[in-house]
């Protein structure tokens, strides 16, 4: 599959899921179990993505300036900094550390 195929497939899938929310009987998700499972699925996906984005590289784990950068962002999120501020601070941290010679 080309990149375009993947993009269209993923976009249509996400859009179809949104439409599904308006089409299925709400009763289906009124019980706590599916709600909880969906919420925890989201948590585990996001957490897995944090780990992979912060540590992944080459054929395995690469430790570099991303780790202190993510720590800075987490600190800012903890004190309720706006999203864009924390993300920009993470980028600046990594950029400066690399300027100083860190990988």
Which 30-89 residues touch other proteins, going by CB under 8 A? 32-33, 35-56, 59-61, 65-66, 69-70, 73-74, 77-78, 80, 82-84, 86-89
Q: How far is residue 68's CA from residue 58's CA, in Å, rounded to a whole number?
A: 20
Task: Report the nearest approach of other proteins to the CB of residue 28 (Å).
Answer: 8
Instruction: Determine how many CB atoms are found less than 10 A away from the CB of residue 28.
Output: 8
Q: How far is residue 34's CA from residue 42's CA, in Å, rounded to a whole number?
A: 12
By the rule CB under 8 A, 95 interacts with other proteins: yes
Q: Which helix (H) or strand (E) holds 50?
A: helix 32-55
By the rule CB under 8 A, 24 interacts with other proteins: yes
**How many residues in the shown chain lie near other proteins by CB under 8 A?**
74
By the rule CB under 8 A, 102 interacts with other proteins: no
């Amino acid at each position: 599959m080309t990149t375009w195929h993947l993009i269209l497939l993923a976009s249509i899938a996400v859009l179809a899921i949104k439409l599904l929310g308006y089409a299925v009987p709400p009763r289906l998700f009124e019980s706590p179990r599916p709600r909880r499972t969906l919420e925890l699925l989201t948590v585990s996906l996001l957490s897995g993505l944090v780990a992979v984005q912060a540590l992944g590289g080459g054929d395995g784990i690469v430790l570099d300036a991303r780790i202190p950068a993510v720590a800075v962002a987490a600190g800012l999120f903890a004190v309720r900094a706006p999203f864009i501020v924390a993300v920009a601070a993470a980028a600046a941290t990594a950029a400066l550390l690399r300027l100083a010679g860190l990988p």
